[in-house]
Amino acid sequence: MQTELRELTLRAVVAGIAFGILFGAANAYLGLRVGLTVSTSIPIAVLTVALLRLLPKRGEVILEANLAQTIGSASSSLATGTIFTIPALFLWGMVPPFYQVALLALLGGYLGIAAMIPLRRLLIVRSADELPYPEGTACAEVLRATTTSAAGGKWIFIGLAAGAAIKLALGAGMLLPSTLAHELPLIPKAELSLEIAPALIAVGYILAYRQSAIMVSGSLISALVLTPVIGLVGANLTAPLFPEMKLAIHDMTAGQIWSRYVRYIGAGAVAAAGIVAVARALPTMWSSFAAVVRGLRTQQGVAEETADPRDRDLPSWVVVVVPLLIIVTLVAVPGLFAGEMSFAPRLVAAIGVAIFGVAFVVVSSRIVGLIGVSSNPTSAMTLVTLLGVSVVFVLLGWRDPSARAAILTVGTVVCIAASKAGDISQDLKTGYLVGATPARQQFGQFIGAAFACWAVAATVLLLGDAYKFGSSDLPAPQATLMKTVIEGVLAGSLPWGLVGAGAMLTVCALIAGLPGLSFAIGIYLPLSSLTPIFLGGIIRHMVDARRKEKARETDRGVLAASGMIAGEGLAGVLIALIVTVMTRWKESAFTSAMTSMHFAAKNFTWITGSAAVLGGIAIVAGVSALLYRAGR
């Protein structure tokens, strides 16, 4: 007789919450830096197994570790939606209170979980042959491997240490410049640049060569084609050229040209790619909705009648009550919106959440089954949501600052819901493969979201207090894009020529068979951020070429890369915390001591000149060698 394995235990819940908070904070920092987040299920699963091995043995731990990674991964999806939208409020000067950010994250997370529950049997069980869920399948393989052998888990800790140490040396100790740049001869305003960031190299390793190459191609077009062309066109102009209102082009640096002009081209490229991605998903949306309706009719009562725990979901009333409570809360609680918000805009915003939220939960749950969580185009879904709601607000004559807040609120909840639905879909696939109970995983996701929302909100507000969103330290590229879209639709102030040119670049990429969204993100993000990502992709390509089998998510290099991302992210949050303390208590002995050490000082580095260049190259080479060694 087979013994039932332990699953929903206190130590699994505590481990999931703790690791979720850590990786959620790290992912929030990464997303605000470069506009990308990564799946954290695999590293949390490995860390949980390592932790459970240190505790008194109580039999097989695979289901406990699976539940912990299910709870822990909830934080990353909440971080994704929050950092893609909320910083726009800071850029508008409408700094939200802590409870507002946390509750919006909670509402979006709960909507995504509840709306995905009736899709489980259709997507995870019945469509198992059609939808591989690559990251969920890989996580199941990792769980099986790590619960039988301790090999590989050490690379997460090595990556954690390396990422944190380098970030503290560069970001806090100001040992070296954080970016290396070189102007190209003969091509005016053309500049190659490389940010010294282990996390970005690690992201490239996880994304692999093709996707990182496509992204850096878009960024090279921005840096070496668009920026020089604009510089040549404006070389003889003495007056500013719209949309810039102060500086003439010949007085601008390459970075200023990119910020004032090329960024709008990138915004148009991303918006077009998002619209195309959603348009392509329309058949999937329709077929999925039809299948869900049929499933709800035919499966009524199945969850209560089945004796197999591996086919048991949470009660059906959860699917109905939770979304209804979310919509009612958005309508009834004015404090969830920044600024003064009357009843009518809140009602329209809540209806927007219901329509776009449920639609994109279905799309996201199915898309991740094909391409995985890390490639889930939630930013594109959010863009389409913002465009749709903005048009409705314009037609109703609502254009004031509070209208911006209402539109952004819709985008925040929908983005988090779509991200959360994709995350729980992958987790349920993992559970399906290792024999877990779906109802317990779904309950665990509710627990994870309830704790993670506060940690993510605190991280975002802390980073916003220590740094300025939109600055070189914390660009918040996705939130800046959302802000641009909302302002452009409400005020009609977008430079549509530049936006249209970016859209045409995306069309050209699609004609050539390239993934439009990856290419467009490359155009929108600075080359300094994409160069290390491409370097990581090259390392992954070298590892794959030397292995007999293709390195997938089970590759130990991915574990080391995940550790680097977490280490650098946590170090960045720690630096922000210390900077905030120094800002609040300027006259304290602690602040004086930190200032004397040039802690996180601007425009100061201990090593300069050619020595700094060599030092930066040495760090990049060391990180690359570490990932290559782990992958081999």
- pLDDT digits over 191-228, tens only? 888 888 888 898 888 888 898 899 899 999 999 999 99
Residue 540 CB: number of other CB atoms within 10 A?
26
DSSP 10-46: HHHHHHHHHHHHHHHHHHHHHHHHHS-----HHHHHH
Per residue in 492-513, pLDDT (tens digit) is 667 888 888 999 999 999 999 8
Residue 553 tokens read as 């998510």
Of 231 and 376, the structure prediction assigns the larger pLDDT to: 231
Compute the distance between CA of residue 142 and CA of residue 45 in angstroms, rounded to an integer.
8
Q: Name the most confidently modeled range: 375-379, 424-428, 549-553.
A: 424-428
Three-state SS at 195: strand
Task: Output the pLDDT for position 152.
Answer: 59
Q: Does the pLDDT of residue 524 top 90, yes or no?
A: no
Task: Output the pLDDT for position 338.
Answer: 61
Confidence band of 451 (pLDDT split at 50, 70, 90) = very high
Could you tell me the pTM of the whole model? Answer: 0.82
Compute the distance between CA of residue 382 and CA of residue 412 in angstroms, rounded to an integer.
8
Residue 595 tokens read as 């200032």
Confidence band of 1 (pLDDT split at 50, 70, 90) = very low
Give the residue-averaged pLDDT of 381-396.
Answer: 86
Compute the distance between CA of residue 278 and CA of residue 271 in angstroms, rounded to an integer.
11
The DSSP code for 605 is -
Rg (C-alpha) for the chain, rounded Å, is: 24
Q: Is 607 exposed, middle or buried (0-12, 13-18, 19+ CB in 10 A)?
A: middle
Ranges of each domain in the chain? 10-152+265-497, 159-244+523-631
Task: Output the pLDDT for position 103.
Answer: 92
Compute the distance between CA of residue 89 and CA of residue 264 in angstroms, rounded to an integer.
19
For residues 435 and 63, is the Cβ–Cβ distance under 8 A?
Answer: yes
Would you say the C-alpha torsion 275, 277, 280, 284 has a positive or negative sign?
A: negative
Buried b (16+ CB within 10 A) or exposed e, 508-526: ebbeeebbbbbbbbbbbbb
Residues in the chain: 632
Confidence band of 553 (pLDDT split at 50, 70, 90) = very low
Residue 1 CB: number of other CB atoms within 10 A?
3
Nearest alpha-carbon partner for 116 in 325, 350, 380, 313: 313
Q: Does the pLDDT of residue 257 top 90, yes or no?
A: no
Task: Output the pLDDT for position 292.
Answer: 54
Backbone phi, psi, residue 61, to 5°? -115, 10
Average pLDDT, the chain: 82
Determine if the peptide bond prior to 243 is cis (ω within 30°). yes
Q: Does the pLDDT of residue 551 top 60, yes or no?
A: no
Nearest alpha-carbon partner for 525 in 246, 245, 220: 220
Cα 594 from chain centroid? 32
Per residue in 288-324, pLDDT (tens digit) is 566 556 655 555 444 444 556 677 888 888 888 899 9
For residues 416 and 430, is the Cβ–Cβ distance under 8 A?
Answer: no
Residue 240 CB: number of other CB atoms within 10 A?
16
Compute the distance between CA of residue 179 and CA of residue 526 in angstroms, rounded to an integer.
12
Q: Does the pLDDT of residue 283 top 50, yes or no?
A: yes
For residues 218 and 526, is the Cβ–Cβ distance under 8 A?
Answer: no
Compute the distance between CA of residue 580 and CA of residue 273 in angstroms, rounded to an integer.
38
The DSSP code for 399 is -
The DSSP code for 314 is S
State the amino acid at position 575 in one-letter form: I
The DSSP code for 182 is E
For residues 201 and 616, is the Cβ–Cβ distance under 8 A?
Answer: no
Compute the distance between CA of residue 47 and CA of residue 294 in angstroms, rounded to an integer.
40
For residues 361 and 418, is the Cβ–Cβ distance under 8 A?
Answer: yes
Task: Output the pLDDT for position 302.
Answer: 41
Per cent of the chain over pLDDT 90 is 17
Backbone phi, psi, residue 284, to 5°? -65, -45
- Cβ neighbors of 622 (< 8 A, separation 6 or more) are none
Of 244 and 31, the structure prediction assigns the larger pLDDT to: 31
Nearest alpha-carbon partner for 313 in 452, 432, 417, 434: 432
Per cent of the chain over pLDDT 70 is 89
Q: Which helix (H) or strand (E) holds 192?
A: strand 191-195
Residue 213 CB: number of other CB atoms within 10 A?
18
Nearest alpha-carbon partner for 34 in 479, 383, 342: 479
Residue 91 CB: number of other CB atoms within 10 A?
18
Give the residue-averaged pLDDT of 375-398.
Answer: 82
The DSSP code for 513 is T
Confidence band of 281 (pLDDT split at 50, 70, 90) = low
Task: Output the pLDDT for position 388.
Answer: 86
